[in-house]
Amino acid sequence: NNMFAATIGEEHGYTKKDIDAMQERVTNGHQAIKEAKAAGNLDWMDLPYNHKEIAKEIKEFAEENREKYDNFVVFGIGGSALGNIAVQTALNDPYYNLKKEARNGCPRLFIPDNVDPTRLKSLLDMLDLEKTMFNIISKSGGTAEPMSQFLTARAAVIKELGEDAVADHFIATTSKDSGDLIKIAKEEGIKTFYIPKTVGGRFSVLSPVGLVSAAFTGVDIEELLAGAEYMDQICDTDDVWKNPAYLNAVLQYLADQDGKPMSVMMPYSHVLKDVADWYRQMWAESLGKKFNRQGEVVNVGPTPIKALGATDQHSQAQLYMEGPYDKVVTFLEVEKFRETLEIARGYEDIDGVSYLGGHTFNELITTEKKATELALIDNNRLNCTVTFPEVNAFTLGQFFYMYEMTTALIGELYNINAFDQPGVELGKQYAYGVLGREGYDHMKEQFDARPKK
Ligand code: PA5
């Protein structure tokens, strides 16, 4: 429960009094979250509890099947991909796909969460289809990106291995009672995993969406859920000083209200870089909203930005230090890395180089984080740090859940629905119209009538 620590600067920061003044709104928000949960609208809060058995089944299924395949491919996008990528980068070897010994008999993992023809063709050309399992993840069961990938991979499997091979090479992770994917899966005898009704895409990493690929690559998915459960218990209080998710929400909210809408997440650990990407979607889709709950136009939402320490010290840090006072930086820090690596000694007669020898890379990256943090404080720049004692399935589960709770509360503070994404729809509908999907002719007409360049 000491994952979160905030640094309060003087001119641009907040005092204990500012935070105490938010307590009543936090209490009301906490109450609203509890009521929404009781009404069955926040199923993601139940996952650490009601998915224990499902996690066992997924684990067994993965253990029985993973050695049959060299490759496991996830076709999904947004919330149906970013959690999977974050888990893989955080918990498996950085060169997992390239190092057989790092995989312990598990398949390589590919998550081409885009429809770029060059990338997809290259992947499909490379895969030995006989040794490949595809997991199509789509809660709606109809998103153009994963469905087009599915159509193409399925055709390739049929061409090479025959119609009967489809059920052995595809899994569908989707809604139980709605969408086209479930109908197709049933018709073709494809193994299915279900996404509970009120678990939105970006809140689904701890559901089968994130758990299946994690289990296939050997991640301890029960520990992921245990970490989330642990954090849920910590967060079961409305006291802003005891609830790290709520304190985070309050600080981020105050910063945005105070003219600092840029919210940077900057892990000082390469394995957490895709966690920052997961956060970016979570924050953007949940909090960027036109209407408040009363239907009034508010156009709110901080802008989430991902950066990576130490890499982006040489790219972004100058702006963060001296640019506009419009940012809050959240560092992710790791106390104990999985490896300790010493910097080799050399050039003892060249002071500018020799001082490095004998230190460790662990010291170097940690010192760089602390130095950047202090430089931000010297410049009166808002920042806070989430500390991972180490990066493992348990702490990652805690982190995901803490940020989900932060998002839920900050949605309450903005008085918006953090769980829908109406703004994403318009672009999709134009694309459906242009590509000839039934019922979208009017969108094609509007598209064709667009102003010419
Ligand atoms: O968070 C969300 O709801 C979205 O990012 C979705 O995950 C994304 O649009 C994919 O949707 P679906 O899983 O229905 O294919």
Q: How confident is the model at residue 151 (pLDDT cuts 50, 70, 90)?
A: very high
> Residues with beta carbon inside 6 Å of ligand 1?
77-80, 138-140, 143, 146, 200-202, 285, 421
Contacts of 311 (CB under 8 A, 6+ apart): none
For residue 229, the SS3 value is helix
Alpha carbon nearest to ligand 1 atom 12, residue:
138
293 alpha carbon to ligand 1 midpoint, in Å?
Answer: 22
Nearest to 123 by CA among 69, 68, 72, 67: 72
Give the nearest ligand 1 atom to 203 CA. Answer: 1
Give the nearest ligand 1 atom to 142 CA. Answer: 15
pLDDT tens per residue, range 398-453 = 999 999 999 999 999 999 999 999 988 888 899 999 999 999 999 999 999 998 88
77 alpha carbon to ligand 1 midpoint, in Å?
Answer: 6
- In this predicted structure, the answer to whether residue 307 has a pLDDT above a threshold of 80 is yes
pLDDT tens per residue, range 339-382 = 999 999 999 999 999 999 999 999 999 999 999 999 999 999 99
Give the nearest ligand 1 atom to 140 CA. Answer: 14
Mutate to test the pocket of ligand 1, among 75, 77, 84, 419 (most ligand atoms within 8 A of CB): 77
Are 73 and 84 in contact by the 8 Å Cβ rule? The answer is no
Contacts of 80 (CB under 8 A, 6+ apart): 74, 137, 138, 139, 143, 146, 173, 201, 204, 209
- In this predicted structure, the answer to whether residue 2 has a pLDDT above a threshold of 50 is no
Just list the catalytic residues. Answer: 285, 314, 428
pTM here?
Answer: 0.95
Q: DSSP state, 342?
A: B
358 alpha carbon to ligand 1 midpoint, in Å?
Answer: 48
410 alpha carbon to ligand 1 midpoint, in Å?
Answer: 21
**What pLDDT is stored for residue 436 in this prediction?**
93
- The bridge status of strand 382-388 relative to strand 4-7 is antiparallel
78 alpha carbon to ligand 1 midpoint, in Å?
Answer: 5
Give the nearest ligand 1 atom to 424 CA. Answer: 9
Q: How confident is the model at residue 6 (pLDDT cuts 50, 70, 90)?
A: low
Mutate to test the pocket of ligand 1, among 43, 85, 139 (most ligand atoms within 8 A of CB): 139
- In this predicted structure, the answer to whether residue 51 has a pLDDT above a threshold of 90 is yes
331 alpha carbon to ligand 1 midpoint, in Å?
Answer: 27
Mean pLDDT, the chain, as a whole number?
A: 96
For residue 408, the SS3 value is helix
Mutate to test the pocket of ligand 1, among 82, 140, 174, 197 (most ligand atoms within 8 A of CB): 140
This complex has an ipTM of 0.98
Are 250 and 291 in contact by the 8 Å Cβ rule? The answer is no
Alpha carbon nearest to ligand 1 atom 9, residue:
78
Percent of residues, the chain, with pLDDT higher than 90: 94
Alpha carbon nearest to ligand 1 atom 3, residue:
201
